[in-house]
C-alpha cells in the first residue's frame, strides 16, 4: 500500500489534487469523509480542476469539471449535469490507516511498469 494523503491535512469541504508516479487523482473531504477519484473527466478525459486543488463548484456542494462545467456528486462521482450526464467519475479504492489514505501499489503503477 502507498500512503498518499494525511487525512488531517485536508480541510472539511475542500479538495486536493494528488500525483503519484505520473498518475493523477484527487481527494475531497465532505462531512468528515474522504472521497477519492481519478482526475479525469468522463466526457473528454481532461483533468477536472479549475486551479491547483480546486475541484468543487462555488458552493463546495458538487465536483465541477473546468472544461465544460459538468457537475458530479461528491459521494459517488455520478454526473448530474453536463455533457457526460449519467456517467461517473472513476473512484479509487482506499483504506485509512493511522490517519493516512492508503492505496494499493498496483493501482498506482503506471501501465507498462506493472
Ligand atoms: S471535459 Fe469535462 S465536461 Fe467536457
Question: What are the structural domains, with CATH classification, of the chain?
Answer: 12-94 (2.102.10.10)
> Which pTM value belongs to this model?
0.95
What's residue 109's pLDDT?
82
Q: From the CB of residue 83, how many other CB atoms can be counted at a distance below 10 Å?
A: 15
Ligand 1 pocket check for 81: Cβ under 6 Å? no
Cα Rg of the chain, angstroms: 14
Could you report the per-residue pLDDT of 36-94, keeping only the tens digit for each?
999 999 999 999 999 999 999 999 999 999 999 999 999 999 999 999 999 999 999 99
Q: Bridge partners of 86?
A: none
What backbone torsions phi and psi does residue 74 show, to the nearest 5 degrees?
Answer: -70, -35
Q: Bridge partners of 31?
A: none
Ligand 1 pocket check for 43: Cβ under 6 Å? yes
Could you report the per-residue pLDDT of 25-49, keeping only the tens digit for each?
999 999 999 999 999 999 999 999 9
Amino acid at each position: 500500500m502507498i500512503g498518499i494523503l494525511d487525512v488531517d491535512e485536508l480541510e472539511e469541504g475542500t479538495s486536493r489534487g494528488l500525483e503519484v508516479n505520473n498518475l493523477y487523482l484527487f481527494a475531497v473531504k465532505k462531512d468528515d469523509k474522504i472521497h477519492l477519484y481519478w482526475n479525469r473527466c468522463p466526457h473528454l478525459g481532461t483533468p477536472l480542476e479549475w486551479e491547483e486543488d480546486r475541484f468543487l463548484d462555488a458552493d463546495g456542494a458538487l465536483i465541477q469539471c473546468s472544461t465544460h462545467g459538468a457537475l458530479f456528486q461528491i459521494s459517488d462521482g455520478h454526473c448530474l449535469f453536463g455533457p457526460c450526464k449519467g456517467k461517473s467519475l472513476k473512484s479509487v479504492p482506499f483504506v485509512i490507516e493511522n490517519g493516512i489514505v492508503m492505496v494499493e501499489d498496483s493501482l498506482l503503477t503506471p501501465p507498462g511498469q506493472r
